[in-house]
Structure 1
Amino acid sequence: MELDDAYANAAHIPGSDAYPDRWARQAAAFREGVIEQGLAELDVDYGDTPRQRFDLFLPRETPKGLFAFVHGGYWLRFDKSVWSHLAGGMLHNGWAVAMPSYDLAPQVEIARITWQIARFCEVAGQMVAGPIRLAGHSAGGHLVARMAVPGVLPRRLAERLAHVMPISPVADLRPMLKTSMNAQFRLDEAGAAAESPVLQRPVKGLPVTVWVGGDERPAFLDQAQWLADAWGCDHVVDPGKHHFDVIDALADADSKMVQTLLT
């Protein structure tokens, strides 16, 4: 369809086929190390379907708060097991890290996935005291942006949000109507608008940073700009990074991305 190529990332990233296996190996090695230290709680239920589970990684000391990372994959693919290593940066800074899986389209609608992530935040937030910082990548960027909108999270939970970082987000879902993927999303104009953070406003005073790779597809550069403009929030274009490697910095405790999340 008209916008299929605009939103096709893998076709425009050299060696893209190798990334999923690489992520999975790094994630498995990370989990093994944390499990050996007795600092992981895996497959914590937050809902009544098999994919409504999250992993919680804990620092040695009392956590400073909770960081949650929500994965991408166009609401169609991947699960929590592929991204565990990205917990490293915040974990080494003393934060507990939660990473959820969620049900995927076309089994559920995107609005239902938003609801599931809100429920995940509630359950994880009950397990770890203190402030909450959220990041999500691509479709996950959409989902954490939705958590920043008043009324999506319970008020007391929303009051704990300290920073939200949509990374390479799909912030306006209306272009998805012009992609072949919409056969699985089953969005119409009203549904796409209702799930588009660019048409909403964040919780007043909540720090939000929209992050995107400088070498990403023009559509994702646009999406990031649209959200930053709509919300009047900080906007970082990371030079030399594409859609697949822009998230690597989450594994580095001293990276600009992690340090920004901590502000």
Structure 2
Amino acid sequence: MEENKFENDYVIGQKNANYNQVMDRIEELNRLVLINKEWKKNIYYGFHARECFDVCYAVGKAKAILVYLHAGYWQSRDKNQFYFIADHLAELGYHIAIMNYPLCPEVSIEKIRTSLSYGLLTVKTYLNDPSNNLPMYICGHSAGAHLTTELVLNAKEIIKDQLNIKGIIPISGIYDLEPLISTSLNIKIKLNQIQARNNSPILRVSKDLVPAEFFVGNHETQAFIQQSQEMKDQWELKGNAANFTILKNSDHFSLLFHFLEDGEIVESIERLYNSTT
């Protein structure tokens, strides 16, 4: 019974009837932003075919860098499915780096994290203005939200001294991985209990971390909502600044439309920028 519950919490229950409609809209928006903005594709930060990122350049003078990590439960999806998140942010002065990374089961979650740590350094080197050390913000969705928090927890000194990361925006993340062990997702992730705990950032939140803006959709399963709420609570418990927002009329993918103009995610990124620079 418990195994069936977790399968519903993290797989079946997250599927919505409007999924195809949402993805069609995202595909349309992706086509438009590729036409309307300046891009550089497939900048490599390692030797693996997926160790690369695409850049959407800020319109006018850049004020900050935003790194985006895509969803897919560490085992699927691609940067080219989420270009649209860059459209309005570029208008506001952000360079946006949309990252790919190696996937399970070819590599472990630990390897993905290590790979992306090199990716952040490459993004910073590639996009930074020598005359103005641009602040960096990391934003991730679902598995990307997990990786966002993992990068912050495992690279505090690099973040402070080199990357100038000022905040993170984890969207609809999984921060306790133990419930995934008994689900179909684990066929490719291949977690045992020890690995699940070692890769659960909620168990390792510490002090002196950057501010975090946690998001989840109100039409997601209660398990997803609870994961974000509890991660935000842990962030604050250790003395770090954090906010938690449940986005109305939003499921696991439609919440990404809050990257469009006047969306709550864009507003939170702007608040983070204004409060940390």
Q: TM-score, normalised by structure 2?
A: 0.87
Matched, 1:251 2:260: yes
The match for 1:63 is: 62
Residue of 24, 34, 57 corresponding to 1:31 = 34
Residue of 7, 12, 15 corresponding to 2:10 = 7
Displacement after TM superposition at 1:93 (Å): 0.6
The match for 1:139 is: 143
> How many percent of aligned residue pairs carry the same amino acid?
23
Conserved 8 A contact 2:13-2:221? no
What are the superposed Cα offsets for residues 107-138 of structure 1, whole Å, 9 maximum, x if unpaired? Answer: 11111111122221111011222100111110
Displacement after TM superposition at 1:152 (Å): 6.2
Q: Which residue type is aligned with residue 203 of structure 2?
A: L
Conserved 8 A contact 1:141-1:169? yes
* Distance 1:156-1:88 versus aligned 2 partners, 3 A rule: same
The match for 1:211 is: 215
Q: Which runs of 4+ in 1 moved over 4 A?
A: 155-159
Displacement after TM superposition at 1:154 (Å): 2.2
Q: How does 1:35-114 map to 2 (within 5 A)?
A: 39-114=38-113
The match for 2:131 is: none
Displacement after TM superposition at 1:166 (Å): 0.6
Any gaps of 5 or more consecutive residues in structure 2? 129-133, 237-241, 273-277
* Distance 1:152-1:178 versus aligned 2 partners, 3 A rule: farther
Conserved 8 A contact 2:45-2:122? yes
3-state SS, counterpart of residue 219 of structure 2:
coil
3-state SS, counterpart of residue 261 of structure 1:
helix
Conserved 8 A contact 1:147-1:153? no
Q: How does 1:138-157 map to 2 (within 5 A)?
A: 138-151=142-155, 154-156=158-160
Displacement after TM superposition at 1:157 (Å): 5.5
* Distance 1:202-1:259 versus aligned 2 partners, 3 A rule: farther
* Distance 1:203-1:98 versus aligned 2 partners, 3 A rule: farther
* Distance 1:11-1:243 versus aligned 2 partners, 3 A rule: closer
What are the superposed Cα offsets for residues 226-259 of structure 1, whole Å, 9 maximum, x if unpaired? Answer: 211111121111122111111111132x322112
Displacement after TM superposition at 1:11 (Å): 6.0
The match for 1:175 is: 179
The match for 2:244 is: 235
Pairwise CA RMSD of aligned residues? Answer: 1.9
Displacement after TM superposition at 1:156 (Å): 4.4
Q: TM-score, normalised by structure 1?
A: 0.91
Displacement after TM superposition at 1:220 (Å): 0.5
Structure ranking higher in helix proportion: 2
Displacement after TM superposition at 1:202 (Å): 5.0
* Distance 1:100-1:209 versus aligned 2 partners, 3 A rule: same
